[in-house]
Structure 1
Amino acid sequence: MHPRQPLSVVMIAKNESALLADALISVSWADEIVVLDAGSSDNTPEIARQHGAKVFTAGPWQGYGKQRQQAQQHASHEMILMIDADERVTPELRAAIEQALMQPQPDVIYSIARRNLFLGRFMRHSGWYPDRVLRLYPRAWRYNDNQVHESLETAGARVVPLQGDLLHLTCRDFSTFQRKQLAYAEAWAQQRHQQGKSCSIYSVFSHTTGAFLKTLLLRAGFLDGKQGWLLAMVNAQYTFNKYAALWALNQANQRK
Protein backbone atom coordinates (compact mmCIF):
# COMPACT_ATOMS: atom_id res chain seq x y z
CA MET A 1 0.00 0.00 0.00
CA HIS A 2 1.25 3.47 -0.89
CA PRO A 3 1.76 5.97 1.92
CA ARG A 4 -0.78 8.79 2.04
CA GLN A 5 0.16 11.61 -0.31
CA PRO A 6 0.47 15.00 1.40
CA LEU A 7 -2.14 17.56 0.35
CA SER A 8 -1.91 21.29 -0.30
CA VAL A 9 -5.18 23.21 0.00
CA VAL A 10 -5.02 26.34 -2.18
CA MET A 11 -7.33 29.34 -1.92
CA ILE A 12 -7.61 32.79 -3.49
CA ALA A 13 -9.28 35.46 -1.36
CA LYS A 14 -10.08 39.14 -1.04
CA ASN A 15 -12.04 40.68 1.85
CA GLU A 16 -13.37 37.31 3.00
CA SER A 17 -13.15 37.85 6.77
CA ALA A 18 -16.80 36.87 7.29
CA LEU A 19 -16.42 33.49 5.59
CA LEU A 20 -12.79 32.45 5.65
CA ALA A 21 -12.50 30.93 9.13
CA ASP A 22 -15.13 28.22 8.57
CA ALA A 23 -13.60 27.32 5.22
CA LEU A 24 -10.17 26.93 6.81
CA ILE A 25 -11.56 24.88 9.71
CA SER A 26 -13.14 22.47 7.24
CA VAL A 27 -9.70 21.71 5.74
CA SER A 28 -7.60 22.00 8.91
CA TRP A 29 -6.63 18.33 8.48
CA ALA A 30 -4.67 19.08 5.28
CA ASP A 31 -0.85 19.08 5.31
CA GLU A 32 -0.65 22.66 4.04
CA ILE A 33 -3.02 25.56 3.40
CA VAL A 34 -2.01 28.30 0.98
CA VAL A 35 -4.00 31.55 0.77
CA LEU A 36 -3.25 34.06 -1.97
CA ASP A 37 -4.66 37.42 -0.88
CA ALA A 38 -5.60 39.94 -3.56
CA GLY A 39 -5.12 43.08 -1.48
CA SER A 40 -7.78 42.72 1.21
CA SER A 41 -8.74 45.82 3.15
CA ASP A 42 -10.13 43.74 6.04
CA ASN A 43 -8.33 41.22 8.26
CA THR A 44 -8.50 38.30 5.81
CA PRO A 45 -4.70 37.71 5.93
CA GLU A 46 -4.67 37.72 9.75
CA ILE A 47 -7.53 35.21 9.94
CA ALA A 48 -5.73 32.96 7.48
CA ARG A 49 -2.53 33.04 9.53
CA GLN A 50 -4.44 32.37 12.75
CA HIS A 51 -5.68 29.13 11.19
CA GLY A 52 -2.22 28.01 10.13
CA ALA A 53 -2.32 29.08 6.49
CA LYS A 54 0.66 30.35 4.55
CA VAL A 55 -0.38 33.76 3.22
CA PHE A 56 0.97 35.34 0.06
CA THR A 57 0.09 38.60 -1.69
CA ALA A 58 -1.08 38.54 -5.29
CA GLY A 59 0.29 40.67 -8.09
CA PRO A 60 -1.88 42.87 -10.34
CA TRP A 61 -5.29 41.36 -11.05
CA GLN A 62 -5.41 39.50 -14.38
CA GLY A 63 -8.54 37.45 -13.89
CA TYR A 64 -9.59 34.41 -11.88
CA GLY A 65 -7.73 31.88 -14.02
CA LYS A 66 -4.33 33.50 -13.68
CA GLN A 67 -5.02 34.20 -9.99
CA ARG A 68 -5.50 30.47 -9.37
CA GLN A 69 -2.35 29.70 -11.35
CA GLN A 70 -0.38 32.12 -9.19
CA ALA A 71 -1.80 30.65 -5.98
CA GLN A 72 -0.96 27.10 -7.03
CA GLN A 73 2.68 28.04 -7.59
CA HIS A 74 3.04 28.57 -3.83
CA ALA A 75 1.93 25.01 -2.99
CA SER A 76 4.59 22.62 -1.71
CA HIS A 77 2.91 19.25 -2.33
CA GLU A 78 2.02 17.28 -5.44
CA MET A 79 -1.70 17.00 -4.73
CA ILE A 80 -3.82 20.17 -4.83
CA LEU A 81 -7.29 20.82 -3.42
CA MET A 82 -8.57 24.16 -4.71
CA ILE A 83 -11.44 25.69 -2.72
CA ASP A 84 -12.92 29.13 -2.14
CA ALA A 85 -13.71 31.02 1.06
CA ASP A 86 -17.44 30.41 0.62
CA GLU A 87 -16.99 26.63 0.38
CA ARG A 88 -16.79 23.97 3.11
CA VAL A 89 -15.50 20.40 2.90
CA THR A 90 -17.98 18.02 4.54
CA PRO A 91 -16.78 15.04 6.65
CA GLU A 92 -17.95 12.67 3.90
CA LEU A 93 -15.91 14.51 1.30
CA ARG A 94 -12.88 14.58 3.57
CA ALA A 95 -13.06 10.78 3.92
CA ALA A 96 -13.22 10.38 0.14
CA ILE A 97 -10.26 12.72 -0.35
CA GLU A 98 -8.20 10.88 2.28
CA GLN A 99 -8.97 7.59 0.51
CA ALA A 100 -7.86 9.04 -2.84
CA LEU A 101 -4.61 10.25 -1.27
CA MET A 102 -3.89 6.68 -0.15
CA GLN A 103 -4.02 5.54 -3.78
CA PRO A 104 -2.01 8.12 -5.74
CA GLN A 105 -2.64 8.13 -9.49
CA PRO A 106 -0.71 10.82 -11.38
CA ASP A 107 -3.07 10.78 -14.38
CA VAL A 108 -6.31 11.16 -12.38
CA ILE A 109 -8.26 14.34 -11.62
CA TYR A 110 -11.12 14.07 -9.14
CA SER A 111 -14.51 15.72 -9.52
CA ILE A 112 -16.45 16.92 -6.49
CA ALA A 113 -20.19 17.54 -6.19
CA ARG A 114 -21.16 20.97 -4.89
CA ARG A 115 -24.33 21.72 -2.95
CA ASN A 116 -25.14 25.33 -3.75
CA LEU A 117 -27.02 27.59 -1.33
CA PHE A 118 -29.52 30.02 -2.82
CA LEU A 119 -31.54 32.28 -0.52
CA GLY A 120 -31.62 29.85 2.38
CA ARG A 121 -32.04 26.62 0.40
CA PHE A 122 -29.46 24.11 -0.80
CA MET A 123 -30.71 23.53 -4.33
CA ARG A 124 -31.30 19.98 -5.55
CA HIS A 125 -32.24 20.83 -9.16
CA SER A 126 -32.02 23.93 -11.43
CA GLY A 127 -28.63 22.76 -12.72
CA TRP A 128 -27.13 23.57 -9.32
CA TYR A 129 -26.72 20.00 -8.08
CA PRO A 130 -24.60 17.94 -8.22
CA ASP A 131 -22.68 20.75 -10.03
CA ARG A 132 -19.48 18.70 -10.27
CA VAL A 133 -16.24 20.68 -10.27
CA LEU A 134 -12.65 19.53 -10.78
CA ARG A 135 -10.85 20.56 -7.60
CA LEU A 136 -8.58 17.68 -6.45
CA TYR A 137 -5.72 17.09 -8.86
CA PRO A 138 -1.94 16.58 -9.27
CA ARG A 139 -0.07 19.86 -9.61
CA ALA A 140 0.98 18.95 -13.14
CA TRP A 141 -2.39 20.36 -14.18
CA ARG A 142 -3.43 23.99 -13.86
CA TYR A 143 -6.30 26.38 -14.50
CA ASN A 144 -6.78 28.11 -17.86
CA ASP A 145 -6.37 31.86 -18.38
CA ASN A 146 -10.07 32.79 -18.39
CA GLN A 147 -10.91 36.01 -16.57
CA VAL A 148 -14.16 34.46 -15.28
CA HIS A 149 -15.64 30.94 -15.39
CA GLU A 150 -12.11 29.58 -15.24
CA SER A 151 -11.65 25.82 -15.35
CA LEU A 152 -8.96 23.22 -14.91
CA GLU A 153 -7.20 22.11 -18.09
CA THR A 154 -7.66 18.34 -18.21
CA ALA A 155 -6.03 17.16 -21.46
CA GLY A 156 -4.76 13.58 -20.99
CA ALA A 157 -6.31 13.14 -17.55
CA ARG A 158 -8.88 10.61 -16.35
CA VAL A 159 -11.69 12.13 -14.30
CA VAL A 160 -12.94 10.15 -11.28
CA PRO A 161 -15.94 11.30 -9.18
CA LEU A 162 -15.58 11.46 -5.40
CA GLN A 163 -18.27 10.75 -2.83
CA GLY A 164 -19.38 13.51 -0.48
CA ASP A 165 -20.32 17.13 -1.11
CA LEU A 166 -18.60 20.49 -1.09
CA LEU A 167 -20.97 23.01 0.48
CA HIS A 168 -21.05 26.25 -1.50
CA LEU A 169 -22.61 29.30 0.15
CA THR A 170 -23.32 30.81 -3.24
CA CYS A 171 -26.07 33.29 -2.46
CA ARG A 172 -26.44 34.31 1.17
CA ASP A 173 -27.24 37.98 0.48
CA PHE A 174 -29.19 38.71 -2.70
CA SER A 175 -27.79 42.20 -3.34
CA THR A 176 -24.18 41.04 -2.95
CA PHE A 177 -24.87 38.08 -5.21
CA GLN A 178 -26.36 40.37 -7.87
CA ARG A 179 -23.37 42.69 -7.80
CA LYS A 180 -21.02 39.76 -8.23
CA GLN A 181 -23.11 38.43 -11.13
CA LEU A 182 -22.98 41.83 -12.84
CA ALA A 183 -19.18 41.96 -12.43
CA TYR A 184 -18.89 38.47 -13.93
CA ALA A 185 -21.09 39.46 -16.86
CA GLU A 186 -19.01 42.55 -17.59
CA ALA A 187 -15.75 40.58 -17.42
CA TRP A 188 -17.22 37.90 -19.70
CA ALA A 189 -18.29 40.50 -22.27
CA GLN A 190 -14.90 42.24 -22.17
CA GLN A 191 -13.06 38.97 -22.72
CA ARG A 192 -15.27 37.93 -25.64
CA HIS A 193 -14.99 41.40 -27.17
CA GLN A 194 -11.20 41.24 -26.99
CA GLN A 195 -11.38 37.87 -28.75
CA GLY A 196 -13.29 39.47 -31.62
CA LYS A 197 -16.66 37.93 -30.73
CA SER A 198 -19.92 39.71 -31.47
CA CYS A 199 -23.66 39.11 -31.13
CA SER A 200 -26.88 40.45 -32.60
CA ILE A 201 -29.78 42.00 -30.72
CA TYR A 202 -31.71 38.82 -31.54
CA SER A 203 -29.02 36.77 -29.77
CA VAL A 204 -29.39 38.89 -26.64
CA PHE A 205 -33.05 37.97 -26.24
CA SER A 206 -32.87 34.40 -27.52
CA HIS A 207 -30.09 33.52 -25.08
CA THR A 208 -31.98 35.24 -22.25
CA THR A 209 -35.20 33.33 -22.93
CA GLY A 210 -33.26 30.10 -23.36
CA ALA A 211 -31.52 30.54 -19.99
CA PHE A 212 -34.85 30.98 -18.19
CA LEU A 213 -36.49 27.93 -19.80
CA LYS A 214 -33.40 25.78 -19.38
CA THR A 215 -33.20 26.46 -15.64
CA LEU A 216 -36.91 26.20 -14.90
CA LEU A 217 -37.94 23.32 -17.18
CA LEU A 218 -35.02 21.35 -18.60
CA ARG A 219 -33.18 21.40 -15.28
CA ALA A 220 -36.38 21.00 -13.26
CA GLY A 221 -35.92 24.24 -11.34
CA PHE A 222 -39.64 24.27 -10.51
CA LEU A 223 -38.94 21.36 -8.14
CA ASP A 224 -36.83 23.73 -6.02
CA GLY A 225 -39.94 25.73 -5.14
CA LYS A 226 -39.88 29.52 -4.93
CA GLN A 227 -36.09 29.57 -5.03
CA GLY A 228 -36.17 27.61 -8.29
CA TRP A 229 -38.38 30.23 -9.97
CA LEU A 230 -36.21 33.05 -8.65
CA LEU A 231 -33.03 31.35 -9.80
CA ALA A 232 -34.47 30.92 -13.30
CA MET A 233 -35.07 34.67 -13.38
CA VAL A 234 -31.58 35.38 -12.02
CA ASN A 235 -29.96 33.14 -14.64
CA ALA A 236 -31.95 34.87 -17.36
CA GLN A 237 -30.91 38.28 -16.04
CA TYR A 238 -27.25 37.24 -15.88
CA THR A 239 -27.40 35.94 -19.45
CA PHE A 240 -29.07 39.16 -20.61
CA ASN A 241 -26.35 41.24 -18.92
CA LYS A 242 -23.59 39.21 -20.60
CA TYR A 243 -24.90 39.43 -24.14
CA ALA A 244 -26.24 42.97 -23.85
CA ALA A 245 -22.83 44.14 -22.61
CA LEU A 246 -21.12 42.37 -25.51
CA TRP A 247 -23.59 43.90 -27.99
CA ALA A 248 -22.99 47.37 -26.50
CA LEU A 249 -19.21 46.98 -26.76
CA ASN A 250 -19.53 46.00 -30.40
CA GLN A 251 -21.79 48.96 -31.11
CA ALA A 252 -19.33 51.35 -29.47
CA ASN A 253 -16.50 49.87 -31.51
CA GLN A 254 -18.45 50.32 -34.75
CA ARG A 255 -19.15 53.98 -33.96
CA LYS A 256 -15.44 54.58 -33.48
Structure 2
Amino acid sequence: MSQRQRLSVVMIAKNEAELLPEALASVSWADEIVVLDSGSSDNTMQVAREQGAQVFQAEGWQGFGKQRQRAQAHAQGEMILMIDADERVTPELRRAIEQVLAQPASDNVYSLGRSNLFLGRFMRHSGWYPDRVMRLYPRKFNYNDNLVHESLETQGAPVVKLAGDLQHLTCRDLMAFQRKQMNYAEAWANERFQRGKRCGLFSIFSHTLGAFVKTLLLRAGFLDGKQGWILAVVNAQYTFNKYSALWALHHTSTQGRV
Protein backbone atom coordinates (compact mmCIF):
# COMPACT_ATOMS: atom_id res chain seq x y z
CA MET A 1 0.00 0.00 0.00
CA SER A 2 1.44 3.36 -1.02
CA GLN A 3 2.14 5.97 1.64
CA ARG A 4 -0.17 8.97 1.84
CA GLN A 5 1.27 12.10 0.23
CA ARG A 6 2.01 14.96 2.63
CA LEU A 7 0.07 18.17 2.08
CA SER A 8 1.45 21.67 2.60
CA VAL A 9 -1.08 24.49 2.68
CA VAL A 10 0.63 27.68 1.50
CA MET A 11 -0.67 31.21 1.95
CA ILE A 12 0.56 34.76 1.42
CA ALA A 13 -0.99 37.38 3.68
CA LYS A 14 -0.86 41.03 4.65
CA ASN A 15 -3.05 42.56 7.37
CA GLU A 16 -5.41 39.57 7.36
CA ALA A 17 -5.75 39.00 11.12
CA GLU A 18 -9.56 39.21 10.91
CA LEU A 19 -9.95 36.60 8.16
CA LEU A 20 -7.12 34.21 9.02
CA PRO A 21 -8.70 32.17 11.86
CA GLU A 22 -11.52 30.74 9.72
CA ALA A 23 -9.27 30.19 6.72
CA LEU A 24 -6.66 28.31 8.74
CA ALA A 25 -9.30 26.37 10.68
CA SER A 26 -10.66 25.04 7.37
CA VAL A 27 -7.26 23.47 6.58
CA SER A 28 -6.17 22.51 10.10
CA TRP A 29 -6.09 18.86 8.96
CA ALA A 30 -3.17 19.48 6.58
CA ASP A 31 0.32 18.17 7.41
CA GLU A 32 1.70 21.70 7.56
CA ILE A 33 0.54 25.26 6.99
CA VAL A 34 2.96 27.89 5.69
CA VAL A 35 2.08 31.58 5.92
CA LEU A 36 4.34 34.17 4.30
CA ASP A 37 3.69 37.63 5.72
CA SER A 38 4.11 40.55 3.33
CA GLY A 39 4.72 43.30 5.88
CA SER A 40 1.57 43.33 8.01
CA SER A 41 0.97 46.17 10.44
CA ASP A 42 -1.65 44.20 12.39
CA ASN A 43 -1.21 40.94 14.34
CA THR A 44 -1.46 38.67 11.30
CA MET A 45 1.70 36.77 12.22
CA GLN A 46 0.61 36.23 15.82
CA VAL A 47 -2.81 34.94 14.73
CA ALA A 48 -1.20 32.58 12.21
CA ARG A 49 1.18 31.16 14.82
CA GLU A 50 -1.68 30.67 17.28
CA GLN A 51 -3.43 28.61 14.59
CA GLY A 52 -0.39 26.36 14.26
CA ALA A 53 1.06 27.79 11.05
CA GLN A 54 4.74 28.20 10.27
CA VAL A 55 5.17 31.92 9.73
CA PHE A 56 7.81 33.63 7.59
CA GLN A 57 8.38 37.19 6.41
CA ALA A 58 9.41 38.54 3.02
CA GLU A 59 10.83 42.01 2.57
CA GLY A 60 10.18 43.90 -0.65
CA TRP A 61 7.04 43.31 -2.70
CA GLN A 62 7.80 41.95 -6.18
CA GLY A 63 4.26 41.04 -7.18
CA PHE A 64 1.83 38.22 -6.45
CA GLY A 65 3.60 35.63 -8.60
CA LYS A 66 6.99 36.12 -6.96
CA GLN A 67 5.41 36.21 -3.50
CA ARG A 68 3.69 32.87 -4.04
CA GLN A 69 7.01 31.43 -5.22
CA ARG A 70 8.69 32.69 -2.04
CA ALA A 71 5.98 31.18 0.13
CA GLN A 72 6.08 27.80 -1.60
CA ALA A 73 9.85 27.61 -1.12
CA HIS A 74 9.22 27.07 2.60
CA ALA A 75 6.87 24.11 2.05
CA GLN A 76 7.99 20.52 2.63
CA GLY A 77 4.99 18.48 1.48
CA GLU A 78 4.79 16.53 -1.76
CA MET A 79 1.51 18.30 -2.59
CA ILE A 80 0.77 22.01 -2.36
CA LEU A 81 -2.60 23.61 -1.66
CA MET A 82 -2.39 27.36 -2.30
CA ILE A 83 -5.16 29.39 -0.67
CA ASP A 84 -5.76 32.99 0.41
CA ALA A 85 -6.93 34.40 3.72
CA ASP A 86 -10.40 35.11 2.32
CA GLU A 87 -10.91 31.51 1.19
CA ARG A 88 -12.25 28.48 3.05
CA VAL A 89 -12.03 24.77 2.19
CA THR A 90 -15.46 23.17 2.51
CA PRO A 91 -15.87 19.65 4.00
CA GLU A 92 -16.73 18.22 0.58
CA LEU A 93 -13.59 19.71 -0.95
CA ARG A 94 -11.52 18.38 1.96
CA ARG A 95 -12.76 14.86 1.26
CA ALA A 96 -11.86 15.21 -2.42
CA ILE A 97 -8.37 16.45 -1.54
CA GLU A 98 -7.80 13.62 0.93
CA GLN A 99 -8.74 11.12 -1.77
CA VAL A 100 -6.04 12.63 -3.99
CA LEU A 101 -3.47 12.42 -1.19
CA ALA A 102 -4.26 8.73 -0.71
CA GLN A 103 -3.42 8.00 -4.36
CA PRO A 104 0.09 7.33 -5.72
CA ALA A 105 2.02 10.46 -6.67
CA SER A 106 1.48 11.75 -10.21
CA ASP A 107 1.97 14.90 -12.28
CA ASN A 108 -1.73 15.73 -12.17
CA VAL A 109 -2.77 19.28 -11.32
CA TYR A 110 -6.18 19.73 -9.67
CA SER A 111 -8.66 22.51 -10.27
CA LEU A 112 -11.00 23.63 -7.50
CA GLY A 113 -14.37 25.25 -8.08
CA ARG A 114 -14.64 28.56 -6.23
CA SER A 115 -17.92 29.84 -4.85
CA ASN A 116 -17.57 33.63 -4.74
CA LEU A 117 -19.36 35.87 -2.26
CA PHE A 118 -20.52 39.24 -3.58
CA LEU A 119 -22.41 41.61 -1.27
CA GLY A 120 -24.00 38.86 0.79
CA ARG A 121 -24.72 36.41 -2.04
CA PHE A 122 -22.71 33.44 -3.25
CA MET A 123 -22.96 33.99 -6.98
CA ARG A 124 -24.09 31.13 -9.21
CA HIS A 125 -23.69 32.91 -12.56
CA SER A 126 -21.96 36.10 -13.84
CA GLY A 127 -18.84 34.09 -14.67
CA TRP A 128 -18.19 33.73 -10.94
CA TYR A 129 -19.15 30.08 -10.57
CA PRO A 130 -17.65 27.57 -10.56
CA ASP A 131 -14.67 29.87 -11.26
CA ARG A 132 -12.18 26.99 -11.39
CA VAL A 133 -8.65 27.68 -10.19
CA MET A 134 -5.62 25.37 -10.16
CA ARG A 135 -4.58 25.34 -6.53
CA LEU A 136 -3.71 21.73 -5.67
CA TYR A 137 -0.57 20.45 -7.34
CA PRO A 138 2.74 18.58 -6.89
CA ARG A 139 5.51 20.73 -5.42
CA LYS A 140 7.51 20.50 -8.66
CA PHE A 141 5.19 23.10 -10.19
CA ASN A 142 5.21 26.80 -9.34
CA TYR A 143 3.61 30.14 -10.14
CA ASN A 144 4.75 32.49 -12.89
CA ASP A 145 6.27 35.93 -12.24
CA ASN A 146 3.18 38.02 -13.01
CA LEU A 147 2.72 41.08 -10.82
CA VAL A 148 -1.03 40.44 -10.72
CA HIS A 149 -3.38 37.75 -12.05
CA GLU A 150 -0.61 35.24 -11.52
CA SER A 151 -1.15 31.63 -12.57
CA LEU A 152 0.34 28.20 -12.05
CA GLU A 153 2.79 27.01 -14.70
CA THR A 154 1.50 23.49 -15.33
CA GLN A 155 3.95 22.63 -18.14
CA GLY A 156 1.19 20.76 -19.96
CA ALA A 157 0.32 18.49 -17.03
CA PRO A 158 -3.15 16.87 -16.95
CA VAL A 159 -5.73 18.97 -15.07
CA VAL A 160 -8.31 17.09 -13.00
CA LYS A 161 -11.47 18.72 -11.63
CA LEU A 162 -12.21 18.10 -7.96
CA ALA A 163 -15.63 17.98 -6.34
CA GLY A 164 -16.51 20.47 -3.62
CA ASP A 165 -16.17 24.22 -3.39
CA LEU A 166 -13.49 26.60 -2.24
CA GLN A 167 -15.51 29.40 -0.68
CA HIS A 168 -14.15 32.83 -1.54
CA LEU A 169 -15.26 35.89 0.41
CA THR A 170 -14.57 38.04 -2.61
CA CYS A 171 -16.56 41.14 -1.78
CA ARG A 172 -17.92 41.73 1.71
CA ASP A 173 -17.47 45.51 1.50
CA LEU A 174 -18.00 47.21 -1.87
CA MET A 175 -15.64 50.14 -1.33
CA ALA A 176 -12.84 47.91 -0.02
CA PHE A 177 -13.37 45.68 -3.05
CA GLN A 178 -13.23 48.70 -5.35
CA ARG A 179 -9.94 49.85 -3.81
CA LYS A 180 -8.48 46.39 -4.35
CA GLN A 181 -9.72 46.45 -7.96
CA MET A 182 -8.00 49.81 -8.48
CA ASN A 183 -4.72 48.34 -7.25
CA TYR A 184 -5.11 45.37 -9.57
CA ALA A 185 -5.90 47.66 -12.50
CA GLU A 186 -2.80 49.75 -11.83
CA ALA A 187 -0.57 46.68 -11.57
CA TRP A 188 -2.08 45.21 -14.75
CA ALA A 189 -1.51 48.45 -16.69
CA ASN A 190 2.08 48.80 -15.46
CA GLU A 191 2.89 45.21 -16.39
CA ARG A 192 1.44 45.58 -19.91
CA PHE A 193 3.17 48.94 -20.39
CA GLN A 194 6.54 47.45 -19.43
CA ARG A 195 5.97 44.79 -22.08
CA GLY A 196 5.41 47.45 -24.72
CA LYS A 197 1.63 47.04 -24.95
CA ARG A 198 -0.61 50.00 -25.76
CA CYS A 199 -4.27 50.72 -26.51
CA GLY A 200 -6.39 53.46 -28.08
CA LEU A 201 -9.58 55.15 -27.00
CA PHE A 202 -11.76 52.79 -29.05
CA SER A 203 -10.16 49.83 -27.31
CA ILE A 204 -10.90 51.34 -23.89
CA PHE A 205 -14.61 51.74 -24.53
CA SER A 206 -15.12 48.55 -26.53
CA HIS A 207 -13.53 46.45 -23.79
CA THR A 208 -15.57 48.28 -21.14
CA LEU A 209 -18.86 47.68 -22.93
CA GLY A 210 -17.84 44.12 -23.67
CA ALA A 211 -17.18 43.42 -19.98
CA PHE A 212 -20.65 44.68 -19.04
CA VAL A 213 -22.45 42.66 -21.72
CA LYS A 214 -20.41 39.53 -21.04
CA THR A 215 -21.16 39.59 -17.29
CA LEU A 216 -24.83 40.51 -17.47
CA LEU A 217 -25.98 38.63 -20.59
CA LEU A 218 -23.47 36.10 -21.90
CA ARG A 219 -22.69 34.84 -18.39
CA ALA A 220 -26.29 35.22 -17.22
CA GLY A 221 -25.49 37.70 -14.48
CA PHE A 222 -29.11 38.86 -14.46
CA LEU A 223 -29.97 35.51 -12.83
CA ASP A 224 -27.94 36.60 -9.79
CA GLY A 225 -30.48 39.34 -9.08
CA LYS A 226 -29.44 42.80 -7.95
CA GLN A 227 -25.91 41.62 -7.21
CA GLY A 228 -25.59 40.43 -10.82
CA TRP A 229 -26.44 43.87 -12.18
CA ILE A 230 -24.05 45.60 -9.77
CA LEU A 231 -21.28 43.14 -10.59
CA ALA A 232 -21.72 43.79 -14.32
CA VAL A 233 -21.13 47.50 -13.69
CA VAL A 234 -18.20 46.78 -11.36
CA ASN A 235 -16.56 44.53 -13.97
CA ALA A 236 -17.05 47.19 -16.63
CA GLN A 237 -15.54 49.82 -14.34
CA TYR A 238 -12.56 47.60 -13.59
CA THR A 239 -12.01 47.01 -17.29
CA PHE A 240 -12.23 50.74 -17.99
CA ASN A 241 -9.67 51.44 -15.25
CA LYS A 242 -7.24 48.88 -16.66
CA TYR A 243 -7.29 50.05 -20.24
CA SER A 244 -7.51 53.78 -19.50
CA ALA A 245 -4.52 53.45 -17.14
CA LEU A 246 -2.55 51.71 -19.89
CA TRP A 247 -3.54 54.44 -22.36
CA ALA A 248 -2.51 57.15 -19.86
CA LEU A 249 0.90 55.56 -19.26
CA HIS A 250 1.65 55.50 -22.99
CA HIS A 251 0.23 59.00 -23.51
CA THR A 252 2.33 60.42 -20.65
CA SER A 253 5.51 58.77 -21.85
CA THR A 254 4.95 60.07 -25.38
CA GLN A 255 4.33 63.59 -24.12
CA GLY A 256 7.52 63.42 -22.10
CA ARG A 257 9.55 62.78 -25.24
CA VAL A 258 8.17 65.82 -27.03
Q: Same fold (TM over 0.5)?
A: yes
> 2-side partners of 1:93 and 1:58: how far apart?
30
Which residue of structure 2 lines up, in the alignment, with residue 252 of structure 1? Answer: 252
> 2-side partners of 1:106 and 1:59: how far apart?
34
Offset at residue 4 of structure 1 (A): 1.3
- Cα deviation, 1:208-242, whole Å, max 9, x if unaligned, reads 00000000000000000000000000000000000
Equivalent AA in structure 2 for residue 227 of structure 1: Q
> 1-side partners of 2:104 and 2:69: how far apart?
22
Which residue of structure 1 lines up, in the alignment, with residue 165 of structure 2? Answer: 165
Name structure 2 gaps, 5 residues minimum.
none
Which residue of structure 1 lines up, in the alignment, with residue 179 of structure 2? Answer: 179
Identity within the alignment, %: 73
Which residue of structure 1 lines up, in the alignment, with residue 19 of structure 2? Answer: 19
Which residue of structure 2 lines up, in the alignment, with residue 63 of structure 1? Answer: 63
Which residue of structure 2 lines up, in the alignment, with residue 206 of structure 1? Answer: 206
Equivalent AA in structure 1 for residue 159 of structure 2: V
Which residue of structure 1 lines up, in the alignment, with residue 136 of structure 2? Answer: 136
> 2-side partners of 1:165 and 1:4: how far apart?
23
Equivalent AA in structure 2 for residue 109 of structure 1: V
Partner SS, residue 231 of structure 1:
helix
Equivalent AA in structure 2 for residue 165 of structure 1: D
Contact 1:8–1:75 (8 Å) recurs in 2: yes
Which residue of structure 2 lines up, in the alignment, with residue 99 of structure 1? Answer: 99
Contact 1:13–1:85 (8 Å) recurs in 2: yes
1:81-92 aligned within 5 A: 81-92=81-92
Contact 1:107–1:156 (8 Å) recurs in 2: no
Name structure 1 gaps, 5 residues minimum.
none
The answer to whether structure 1 residue 219 and structure 2 residue 219 are counterparts is: yes
Equivalent AA in structure 1 for residue 30 of structure 2: A
Contact 2:5–2:105 (8 Å) recurs in 1: no
Partner SS, residue 16 of structure 2:
coil
> 2-side partners of 1:137 and 1:253: how far apart?
41
- Cα deviation, 1:48-101, whole Å, max 9, x if unaligned, reads 000100000012100000000000000011100000000000000000000000
Which residue of structure 2 lines up, in the alignment, with residue 149 of structure 1? Answer: 149
Partner SS, residue 4 of structure 1:
coil
Aligned residues: 256
> 1-side partners of 2:47 and 2:85: how far apart?
12
Which residue of structure 1 lines up, in the alignment, with residue 231 of structure 2? Answer: 231
Offset at residue 3 of structure 1 (A): 2.0
> 1-side partners of 2:154 and 2:77: how far apart?
19
Partner SS, residue 61 of structure 2:
coil
> 2-side partners of 1:78 and 1:59: how far apart?
27
The answer to whether structure 1 residue 115 and structure 2 residue 118 are counterparts is: no
Equivalent AA in structure 1 for residue 51 of structure 2: H
- Cα deviation, 1:138-187, whole Å, max 9, x if unaligned, reads 01100000000000011131000000000000000111000000000000
Contact 1:11–1:84 (8 Å) recurs in 2: yes
Partner SS, residue 176 of structure 1:
helix
List structure 1 segments (4+ residues) > 4 angstroms apart after TM superposition.
none
> 2-side partners of 1:156 and 1:168: how far apart?
27
Which residue of structure 1 lines up, in the alignment, with residue 76 of structure 2? Answer: 76
Partner SS, residue 233 of structure 1:
helix
> 2-side partners of 1:243 and 1:122: how far apart?
28
Contact 2:116–2:128 (8 Å) recurs in 1: yes
When the two chains are superposed, the root-mean-square deviation of aligned CA atoms in Å is: 0.6
- TM-score, normalised by the number of residues in structure 2: 0.98
Equivalent AA in structure 2 for residue 211 of structure 1: A
